[in-house]
Structure 1
Amino acid sequence: MVRIGAFFVGLFFSGWLLVTFLVGAVSFVSEPPAPTAEHEFHLHPKEVSYSFNGPLGHYDKAQLQRGFQVFKEVCSACHSLKFVAFRDLEALGYNEAEVKAIAKNWAIKTPDVDPKTGEMAGRAPVPSDHFPKPFANNVAAAAANNNAIPPDLSLMTKARHDGSAYVYSLLTGFQDQPAELLKEFPDAKTPTGLHYNPYFANLNLAMAPPLTAEGQVTYGDGTKPTVDQMAKDVSAFLTWTAEPKLENRKRAGVAALFFLLIATGLAYMSYRNIWANTKH
């Protein structure tokens, strides 16, 4: 009796779900949602070629160092890297002495307690420290950035679809609003204090274009620092901060596939050897 009751209860809910789905489908076809500026003018990230793309890709340490330089000289004034320590930079090709110098000369001090007074004070970072936040708290961050809190960039390329390409597209995508947008959606004019960028979800963001001119940074390896190059380099660096073990993961994947191919071959040969004389 209980099973029969459960059957009818399940049948009722299944039927209800089916009816709800059909009603929603009919409503969508008969009264489609009104188009929005975000839906019509939002763009997917550009296609960008990186050395770490593909199953056999690897990081270009020279590019990562250039990207770190862009982050240091341009991005670090507003954005943090709270999950990255200075000593992690050794993976980019910096030696121990260089890492110590980078930490010691970092513009933002690491919060610490003064052992003499017991009060909070700042000190020069050491390699074991994580990159210090540029603002003491979210209130200070919002006050300095038009009431918008700059996000931490440690995992940004993991948090966004096509993360590397997204960061690159966002940095190179600032532009004036298209006339077609304002003609079709007069109320979608970018508010004062915001900046139009079709690669951002709602088309407008508080961050002003951070990369504005060629030569904004000076690369030590002689690479020409165009806006496009700087954007590509810093997006590669932020890919590394989010996936520092990417190369190990790809090597492990290739080794696993190689092992599976050999194991499959051995299993097939064993099967043929064991059952070779068996009559069907």
Structure 2
Amino acid sequence: MLRAILIAIGVFFSGMMLYSFGASTYAYLTDPAAPTAEEEFHLHPKEVHFSFNGPLGHYDRQQLQRGFQVFKEVCSACHSLKFVAFRDLEQLGYSEAEVKAIAKQWTIKAPDVDPKTGEPSTRDPVPADHFPKPFANNVAAAAANNNAIPPDLSLMAKARHDGPAYIHSLLTGFQSQEGFKNAKGKELLKEFPDSKTPEGLHFNPYFANLNLAMAPPLSAEGQVSYSDGTKATVDQMATDVSAFLMWTAEPKLESRKSTGMAVLFFLLIATGLAYLSYRNIWADKKH
């Protein structure tokens, strides 16, 4: 008797689950959810060529140095690189003396307090230090950035789909919302009149919800003076800093690719040897 009751209860709950699944599927097919402005007008990243693309790609050290310069002079005012140490910059081609000089351009707040003033003491960074945060805490960061906390950029190129292309597209994608159309020719404000960008935010179709607190950081040609003489257009600066942030997210990319190619070569040789061994062993065997 008890077994029959348990079976009935199981059948009842199984039936309810099947009914719920069927009802939900039917509702989705007959009455799909209305598209949102984000779904209709969010753009995928542009196609951008980087030297590290592809299985044989590698970093352009000169470009990485330019990208670091853009980060230092523009991005570091709000964003941090907490997983990158100053000594890591030697991988970009800087000498030990240059790394020490770069580190001294930042200031690190020491954990102790100056006994004379009561203020937190500071010290010059050493190459072993990581890049310090531009704000003391999240409260200070939000207060200085329209209640938005600038994210750390160390791993941003790996945290977003098509990371370097996404960063480049975002940096160059700020535009007026007026008259903006999607690939189907639909105009944003005509299709979604209530989607006007709130005051204090900035329209960017490459951002997930189309509006973000960050103002266009790269706004004019020549904003950075490259030491190698490269013309600092907005597109060039965006490309360079995107490449630099790819390096911060995956500094071992080149060694990973070279190891992968060596492994593939080894597997090809091993496969050929295995096949030849098979033919040799079974050559005089009759089927």
Alignment-derived partner of residue 104 in structure 2: 104
After superposition, the Cα gap between the structure-2 partners of 1:14 and 1:236, relative to the gap in structure 1 and judged at 3 Å, is farther
- Which residue of the partner structure matches residue 234 of structure 1? 241
Q: Indicate which of 213, 217, 234 corresponds to 2:220.
A: 213
- Structure 2 counterpart of 1:202: 209
Aligned partner of residue 229 in structure 2, secondary structure: coil
- Percent identical across equivalent pairs? 76
TM-superposition CA deviations, 1:71-124 (whole Å, max 9, x none): 000000000000000000000000000000000122xx1121448749731111
Consecutive unaligned residues of structure 2, counting only runs of 5 or more, are: 180-186
Counterpart of 1:224, as a letter, is K
- Do the aligned residues in 1 keep the contact of 2:89 with 2:99 (CA within 8 Å)? yes
Computed over aligned residues only, the root mean square deviation of the Cα atoms, in angstroms, reads: 2.3
SS at match of 1:158: helix
Q: Report the Cα distance in structure 2 between the residues aligned to 1:163 and 1:264, rounded to whole angstroms.
A: 36
Distance 1:206 1:247 in 2: 35
CA–CA distance in 1 between the matches of 2:172 and 2:18? 46
> Which range is displaced more, 199-208 or 22-31?
22-31
Please say if residues 113 and 121 of structure 2, whose CA atoms lie closer than 8 Å, have aligned partners that are also in contact.
no
Partner of 1:277: 284
User: Is residue 2:274 matched to residue 1:267?
Assistant: yes
Match of 1:156 in 2: 156
Per-residue deviation, 1:28? 1.1
**8 Å Cα contact 2:168/2:242 also seen in 1:** yes
Task: Tell me if the contact between 1:113 and 1:119 (Cα under 8 Å) persists in the aligned partners.
Answer: no
Measured in 2, the distance between the counterparts of 1:137 and 1:277 equals 77
The 3 A distance-change label for structure 1 pair 147 and 254 is: same
- Deviation per CA, 1:17-52, whole angstroms, max 9, x where unpaired? 554443222111110111111011000000000000
CA distance in 2, matches of 1:166, 1:19: 42
Query: By how many angstroms is 1:183 displaced?
Result: 1.1
Question: Which residue number corresponds to residue 24 of structure 1?
Answer: 24
Letter in 2 for 1:48: V
Partner of 2:146: 146
Unmatched segments (≥5 aa) in structure 1: none
8 A Cα contact 1:84 1:131, kept in partner: yes
For the pair 1:77 / 2:77, whether they are aligned, the reply is: yes
Aligned residue for 2:78, secondary structure, equals: coil
Partner of 1:76, secondary structure, is helix
Count of residue pairs the alignment pairs up: 276
Question: What letter is aligned with 1:70?
Answer: V
